Amino acid sequence: MPDIAAVESPLFRVADEVRDALVHGLPVVALESNVIAHGFRAPDNIAVAREVEHAVRAGGAIPATIAIADGQFQIGCGPAELEALAAAGRSAAKVTSRDIAVALAGGSLGATSISATMAIADRAGIATVASAGLGGVHRGAQTTFDISADLTELARTRLIVVCAGVKKILDAGLTLEFLETQGTPVIGYRSGEFPAFYCRDSGFRTPVHLDSAREIAEVAGLHLEFAGSGSVLVTHPIPEADALDGERIEAAIRDALARAERERVTGAAVTTFVLRAVDEATGGAAAAANRAVLISTAAAAAEIESARAALAEGVRDAH
């Protein structure tokens, strides 16, 4: 049974179904909330949030969308909390792992990025996190040293993190090198290609390719037996029917990056700027692909988490 002592802290506000699932060892998948506040415009954002949670439930797991509100971690957002995030939009603070304490102290609404979601889920005793595209090493990082906190959070947490690779605007090759350096296993679920968000292929292969959710759960369980092992990263590409053409996206990204430089967009704002510019350049196709990625990775995470929970139950029964 997972250690959920942390969620008894006054810092945690846990939805009843999530608490019950954790107590009884049932599968739970943590979801980021930043995509609701910053990833889509209303009313698409609340629709996507509901669809992603439905995908988790259809896969046999309980969704736990994570946010920060009123100085507490919200573990499992109900309809009212999801609607508040959707209504707040970009006025909600984007919370990365470094911003957690500031967001708690400020008491305002915070939408968690994948790094913050990982950190909070790990402390809450949730074993699996789903995201669309992981942050990674940015293009030109040899000069800027711009590397997402998502990668370093993988080394600090002990989770299964399921995503569709890294966003196309990042450097997939350098990201894989960074993950190798810090000892993060990368497993391709039902695909040997390392995906690039709304493109199925980044041009790189995953180090390991497994087709069974149970196999992934077994590998993750063994990996996590080692002290200081960090998380396991599982990649699952966008469905072929929803994928975008890589060359078309690459051209749109180059144009958007040049425009961002001209307009002096810097720091964390670059990613949102470029993603929205690419969406405009593709006539909304990128947003549709983003939606498909979120649903696909949520479903894959539910399958893997269900397998992990079943294995853990078998171990408990054996004892």
DSSP states along 108-122: S-EEE-HHHHHHHHH
Q: Residue 224 to residues 54, 86, 155, 156, 207: CA-CA distances in angstroms? A: 29, 35, 11, 12, 18
Q: 53, 153, 167, 168: which is the annotated catalytic residue? A: 167
Length of the chain: 319
Residue 168 labelled as part of a binding site: no
Read off the DSSP letter of residue 138: B
Q: Which amino acid is at 298?
A: A
How many angstroms separate the Cα of 181 from the Cα of each of 119, 169, 230, 262?
Answer: 21, 22, 12, 34
- Is 58 marked as binding a ligand? no
Please say if 83 is a catalytic residue. no
What residue has token string 């679920």? 189
Catalytic annotation, pick one of 32, 81, 153, 193: 32
Answer left, alpha or beta for residue 203, where phi above 0 means left and psi between -120 and 50 means alpha: left
* Tokens 């967009």, residue located: 265
Cβ-based neighbours of 89, under 8 Å, separated by 6 or more: 37, 38, 41, 42, 45
Helices 114-124 and 149-156, packing angle to 10 deg: 20
User: Is-catalytic flag, 167?
Assistant: yes
**Does 113 appear as a known binding residue?**
no
Compute the distance between CA of residue 53 and CA of residue 64 in angstroms, rounded to an integer. Answer: 8
Residue numbers in the known binding site are 94, 146, 148-150
Residue numbers in the known binding site for Mn(2+) are 146
Residues with a catalytic annotation lie at 32, 167
Residue numbers in the known binding site for substrate are 94, 148-150
